[in-house]
Amino acid sequence: MKRLLVIGIGAGNPDYITMQAVKALNRVDVFFLMDKGQSKDKLIDLRREICERYITDRTYRFAEAHSPERERGVDYSASVDDLNRAKQQTFERLINDELADGQCGGFLVWGDPALYDSTIRILQAILASGRCEFEFEVIPGITSVQALAAQHKVPLNTIGRSIEITTGRRLAAGQVSDTDSLVVMLDAEDSYHQVADQETEIYWGAYLGTPDEILIHGKLGDVADEIERVRKAARAEHGWIMDTYLLRKP
């Protein structure tokens, strides 16, 4: 039987790796790396660095595949379905061609595999299709949400209240609950500008846990334009950006 380990590597800092993840890394024969293009080379480099740093006594290799990209400018959920089908084919090929029976394959998942990541869903779909046989385990990691809260030294919830974690797309469409603590991820459109109450505090973080980390905190009325400016400049400089923020209603 083939075995797969879906390992959460934390969202940026190699020190975010847990002891469980270190043990898992040391069981893997083949790491599957999904290449997302030149601008994201740093993310692949971090995965290689993690292997070099934490794998102490084992021979392993990398199998790279080009990661399919979502088609832009078309219906969002249809394009996500297409993307996941393409990813499923890529994963199946990697598992069939790159892993021998009895070997262990590793997916190094950014942050935690349970949060806005399709790896678990895709592996479940492959198993359900019956086209590949394997067993898999999930090793949790530190999410960008936890990194954001730690770097700003702020709790995610107010006392006894709930938190909602959502996307920039849903915030922009007004599809959020009236919770006082909203965490927004995957925001390509500066959707914090859509929040009416300018007294709302924003805790914004980009490239969290990395040497390029940027943090901005303040009332939306005071810092929203600054965030937009800084975000645009950082994106132009690096070629890509990953940012997350907490909105706290007064």
Residue number, 29 or 136, with CB nearest to ligand SAM: 136
C-alpha span between 144 and 12 (Å, rounded): 8
Stretch of 16-24, 113-121, 196-204, 222-230 lying at the interface with ligand SAM (CB under 6 A): 113-121
Tokens of 204: 């914004």
User: Is-contact 104 70, C-beta < 8 A?
Assistant: no
Closest-CB residue for ligand SAM?
Answer: 111
Q: How many helices (H) and strands (E) does the chain have?
A: 7, 10
CB of 230 to ligand SAM, least distance (A): 13
Q: Mask: binding to ligand SAM, 147-186, rule CB under 6 A, as x and -?
A: --------------------------------------xx
- Site size with ligand SAM, rule: CB under 6 A: 20
Which of 88, 119, 143, 200 binds ligand SAM (CB under 6 A)? It is 143
DSSP H stretches of helix in the chain? 19-25, 41-54, 76-98, 119-129, 144-152, 168-172, 220-238
Residue 7 has phi, psi (to 5 degrees) of -110, 120
Residues forming contacts to ligand SAM in the complex (CB under 6 A) are 11-12, 110-112, 115-117, 143-144, 185-186, 205-209, 242-244
